[in-house]
A and B are shown apart, each in its own frame.
Chain A
């Protein structure tokens, strides 16, 4: 392999893998640098919730590789980055593979937050949903998405007159969960139309990989069957097969190398500095293009450590997490959801998507809310995780003793439902990523770690509470009893839906990246993870991040 590349890609996950595929398809030679090792499906066997989840064997350890979170009182905490997997594929190796597209309401959010206090940092994206549609379709094709694109008028692609009846996902949807019809009926009566969600999970043999076997080890676990898509088994595999992609594992990019511009002109990327084992010498790889995609917070950290020129002082700023919310209910008289082999079994993965509150009416204004992924706690959450969080009501959490027995007895004998909320966030200047000082906390390679500051705006918390309450009311009117009601609190030490911190925009005085996700101040330097997102949006960010990577890499 010749040591001369057209592009270096930092990170082999959602953005990096997509970049490798698109660029090699265009005949470019690329070098992909991945800090972690390569894993195969067998590495996620035997099925064991204790080892893989409770003992955190797939994620960085906060003892020696943390993120620092500075809370509202100024206390420093070592935060666990449970959504980051240091291996080829990155977080795509442990995701739930929910693939809803961002839509108009995400691309143009300011109309929904007008007059809200503290909303002056909210901006519209410099692109439209329509511009992204061809890239969503490429992502859905290459990442092997299953779903029913005609299932409901609430679906992303079937609203606002943009009905595309010619298009469907590559695969039909996964086997339904036994609760699906029951839940759809309840919501239909309430005027909402939840639908079977698009998942990057095979519903049949496709692209040489098997259908999901419903082992129940989905989110936070590696897929031992290879039926769930990740960067390695989709786009990166295709890139490697061209012979134009050089993937090097155990290569940790510490710094971006660039020439600074003079006379106010932007600088130019030259390459990267990297190390292999902790303690090894720093070396250089050079290329005229560098694509950074190591997850929002780590990309911002890399920019900070590299001292990328930042005249408006916005690197790391406008970090966003989606406000979340957790609602569990049980239905007396409904059997446990195990209706037979035509449905998902007791080790299920859901999920319906509920988008009826993506926007909602409030005092004459149309406001931005969010969406729900709909599961069943008993069949969709493995036992250790579920039982640790055993909750009988909003105030009776983490129960034990007789109450724990009551909780378990109920779970095993009647059907339930759980709702996981993802909401729009108010971007704030002070929600940010910094980097530890030279005498601060370092990772095992001696590089200062990221330090985050994050307080959810009051609106985030109120929207989460409102949305949870609306759904709880619908469910209780239909006979459900609330067992868990946990809206978003103020503090956020870290969450998997993480975006912003390297805001893209057309004005170099108000953004870090331009509308092609290229650094305003260092030409040839691009960012392809969710750090580019000008605002948080209100859906799982993965496919929008991936679609953006297609968009950028096809024309670079």
Chain B
């Protein structure tokens, strides 16, 4: 049987983690009636995944330097566009920044194709994985996203956002 082995380490610095949380929340935003990436800890998933070695999956080794460099570039672009740190952008500002990234329009990146076809798709992919993978991986906290979605069993449980979030 395959066994998931939780890594002891974490990959991101505190600021990087906050950056990823903010990015992921723009990709899958929580609303009044739905949990979002932040509610289910999608960034926690990635923090653990990137601390694993490539014996689990051969792309992990490439993703480590990609995130280090890509987050720094995105942070610089955030400063240029909004005069704010990446992790401090509002939801709308983050969405605007990611829209530019998806179109390949930002300066300070290797190329438009790198933004469009490499970095943005990986951010989206990892956000979805962090939200919908088995909770053993550190995301989809308590199966909350599955429960709202209605997987693997129904009925789908409606979500109500509690007014105060820590």
A residues at B contact (CB < 8 Å):
42-43, 45-52, 54-57, 61, 63, 216, 336, 338, 345-347, 383-384, 387-388, 398, 400-402, 404-405, 408-409, 411-413
Contacts and interface: CB of A to CB of B under 8 A. Distances in A.
Interface in B2-37: 2, 4, 26-29, 31, 33-34, 36
Q: Is the interface of B mostly helix, strand, loop or mixed?
A: loop
Contacts of A413: 156
Contact of B154 (A46, A63, A336, A388): A336
A402 B98 CA distance: 13
B138 to A, nearest CB: 11
A49 B26 contact: no
Interface stretch (B67-75, B81-89, B107-115, B123-131): B123-131
10 contacts: A48-B2, A49-B133, A216-B152, A338-B155, A347-B152, A383-B146, A384-B132, A404-B27, A405-B36, A412-B150
B28 A388 contact: no
Contacts of A404: 27-28
B166 interface: no
Interface of B: 1-2, 4, 26-29, 31, 33-34, 36, 56-58, 95, 98, 121, 124-125, 127-129, 131-134, 136-137, 146, 148-156
Nearest to B102: A400
A400 B124 contact: yes
B63 to A, nearest CB: 12
Given A49-B134, A61-B58, A401 B29 contact: yes
Contact of B1 (A45, A398, A400): A45
A398 B36 CA distance: 17
A387 B132 contact: yes
A80 to B, nearest CB: 11
Given A57-B2, A384-B129, A405 B150 contact: no
Contact of A51 (B2, B36, B98, B149): B2
Given A54-B129, A346-B150, A412-B148, A42 B1 contact: yes
Nearest to A398: B124
Which of A47, A49, A346, A383 has most B Cβ within 10 Å? Answer: A383
Contacts of A412: 148-150, 156
Nearest to B57: A55
A113 to B, nearest CB: 37
A413 B158 CA distance: 10
B90 to A, nearest CB: 14
